[in-house]
Amino acid sequence: MTATLIQQSLDLAQQHRQAGRLHEAEALCQQVLAEQPDQADALHLLGIVAFQSGRSDDAMAFIRRSIALNPHRSHFHCNLGLVLASKGRLDEAIATYRHALVLSPSDAETHNNLGIALRAQGKLDQAIAAYRQALALRPESPETLNNLGNSLGAKGQWEQAVSAYRQALMLRRGYAEAHNNLGYALQAMGRVDDAIAEYRQALALSVNSPIALCNLGNALMLKHRLEEAIAAYRQAIALQPDFVEAHSELGNALRYTEHLDEALAECRQAVALQPSDPPARVNLGNVLHARGDAQGATDAYRHALALRPDYPAALANLANVYHLNADFPAALAGYRRAIELQADFASAHWNLGLVLLLLGDFAQGWPEYQWRRKIGEFLAGTSAFPQPIWDGSDLHGRRILLHFEQAFGDTIHFVRYVPAVAQRGGRVVLLAQPQMHRLLQGMPGVEQCLTPHQPLPPFDVHCPLPSLPLTLGLLRPQDLPWRGPYLKTDPALQEKFSDLLDAAAADFKIGLVWAGRSYPPDRSVPLSALAPLARPGVRFYSLQIGEGAEQARQPPPPMQLIDPTDRIEDFADTAALMQKLDLIVSIDTAAAQLAGALGKPAWVLLKHVPDWRWLLGRSDSPWYPTARLFRQPKPGDWGHPIAQMADALATLLAGRGSSAS
């Protein structure tokens, strides 16, 4: 076979390889080698074909033979590096790439491949340098830009990562992988809606991408679009049944539903598929914790830590178990260790703050609590406004938007700081939940109260309500001393309930709330559990809205219960009814805080480890002086505080009777 025929055969073999006809390419290479066994180009091409066929050992042998015959061909070394990297032999791959670059310093592809191997070793700065060198040599490489974005993202340099991905997409429209990676970066920056749009674009270009579907599910979870997220995970699993992350995240999503058995099954499937995967172990622990199996959760987190001792997520979730089991020293140590390993671990900071606040350490607690603003939904809410966040300086008549961020109870708690903002010279626009609007619109210091459905006026700065204690420097309850009720009701609204109240004018009137949200758990009791409070001369009024409200139709005997909730439209109505009652009895819900903010006597049932604002080991509240607290002595034991409450009610009524006589 002449040199010309050999070259023609190799050119044709290359064409077959590029077209995916690997068998034909291999046959031509073997024909050349039968004629000329030491033909280096044929051996090299045969090695590439073997690599593409999944025969990496054969590929390595063929390419090494080609290098032995012609050691000065840089692309031979580069392709050997690819084979070594595929086998996990990264040190050898990196050395091979570096040798190739000695032979050909301007080979952009080798710089790019070196970057991939360095990133796989966690050498991110070196990887970024390699990618930048590749781009200096070949600026219009979307693959290298995509790789650069991945390494920048791994360092948390998300804005630069976004820029790299966008450049890649400008060079190659329809680049599904770059859309997916751009979505991931935007999600990390809190731009969850933009991330969802990018994931959907990736899926429009590559319908059968389980990775994009799983990422979409994760983003939808941050937006509380639970059913859509579950559907995305299920679709990813249908495409790739052994996709560990999709099974694990599906289980994690299902734990927020009533399908905890299915959630557990999915997490166990993920662990069975990859027993050495720490994130799968952590999600298994999360589900077990949601099922009330604290020991099982602890075991799962500890197993994850045995696999990866420096895994911040496992440390933080184990600390959550300690927190909810009142082992506060262990919880604090766990959160702090997680933060030591990952300084920007926002949820660990936030949970550390919650424990510190619960323990009454407000000086350290509020700065840690601020980290919630870097968590998914909170960051998304904060970044929705282009105006800067207020730094606490004098406002000099500027308009400030104060906006709700969390649940109804948090809005009620933190609006107490609004007058202090007005005293700093602020013209306050308050953005409140629709259910809170009528109650808060006449609050002192509020120039205008709006809901998210109404257009906002121009404003200069903004601040989430829960950030006000730290921003104002009013860290302790005594720094904003109680000056009486800070919420008022419209007397006209009380007329809605007059007929129900007048009919029981002589009775002692108690408003009841017995159920909170299902998550976090253990914030509800059945109405029947409050039967010990029933006694002659006491009339109960249901204030229960939503979950559990149907129980009012069948009160436990001998309780006399009136259900006026069909007349309650929002918190303004609830407040108006409360004003006409003698006592509010509530499990830890927004109703308890509303009663406290109105200055009404409120008896509050608290679980063993309560929300931070109720502190520990006391029966009163510095935030709500008219509140009296009845605490579980151990998790799940509502009988004890209800019995204490019944005794306290008997004493109260006896004293009331003595006063009347």
CATH of the domain at 370: 1.25.40.10
**Distance of alpha carbon 148 from alpha carbon 333, whole angstroms:** 36
Instruction: Tell me the residue length of the chain.
Output: 661
- Per-residue model confidence (pLDDT) at position 661: 41
- Per-residue model confidence (pLDDT) at position 657: 65
* SS3 assignment, position 400: strand
Q: Which two tokens stand for residue 533?
A: 């409070």
**Distance of alpha carbon 431 from alpha carbon 437, whole angstroms:** 8
pTM (two decimals)? 0.82
* 533, 634: one domain: yes
* Enclosing domain of residue 344: 310-379
- Per-residue model confidence (pLDDT) at position 337: 98
Beta-carbon neighbour count of residue 658 at 10 Å?
8
- Per-residue model confidence (pLDDT) at position 143: 97
**Distance of alpha carbon 389 from alpha carbon 472, whole angstroms:** 13
* 366, 399: one domain: no
* SS3 assignment, position 513: strand
- Per-residue model confidence (pLDDT) at position 505: 75
- Per-residue model confidence (pLDDT) at position 660: 46
Note whether residue 131 is domain-resident: no
Single residue among 290, 325, 360 that ends a domain in this structure? 290
For 193, the enclosing helix (H) or strand (E) is: helix 192-205
Q: Give strand pairing partners of 389.
A: 462
* 644, 512: one domain: yes
Q: Give strand pairing partners of 457.
A: none
Could you tell me whether strands 561-562 and 583-587 are parallel, antiparallel, or unpaired per DSSP bridges?
Answer: unpaired
- Per-residue model confidence (pLDDT) at position 518: 63
* SS3 assignment, position 245: helix
Q: Which residues are CB-neighbours of 228 under 8 A, at least 6 positions away?
A: 220
**Distance of alpha carbon 161 from alpha carbon 151, whole angstroms:** 8
**Distance of alpha carbon 525 from alpha carbon 523, whole angstroms:** 7
Residue type at 236 in one-letter notation? A
Note whether residue 499 is domain-resident: yes
What are the helix (H) ranges across 258-293?
Answer: 260-273, 278-290
* 456, 474: one domain: yes
* 595, 646: one domain: yes
* 467, 532: one domain: no
* 362, 330: one domain: yes
Beta-carbon neighbour count of residue 161 at 10 Å?
26
* SS3 assignment, position 602: strand
pLDDT along the chain (661 residues), means of 10: 85 91 92 91 93 93 94 93 93 95 95 95 95 96 97 94 97 96 93 95 94 96 92 97 97 91 96 96 95 94 97 97 96 98 94 98 97 73 78 96 94 97 96 96 94 95 96 94 91 90 85 82 88 95 94 95 95 96 95 97 97 96 97 94 97 76 41
- Per-residue model confidence (pLDDT) at position 379: 55
Single residue among 379, 396, 420 that ends a domain in this structure? 379
CATH label of the domain that carries residue 544: 3.40.50.2000
Pseudo-torsion of CA 286, 287, 290, 291, nearest 10°?
-140
Cα three-residue angle 484-490-495, rounded to 5 degrees: 125
* 511, 614: one domain: yes
* 501, 577: one domain: yes
Cβ burial 402-429 (10 Å sphere, 16+ → b, else e): bbbbbebbbbbbbbbbbbbbbebebbbb
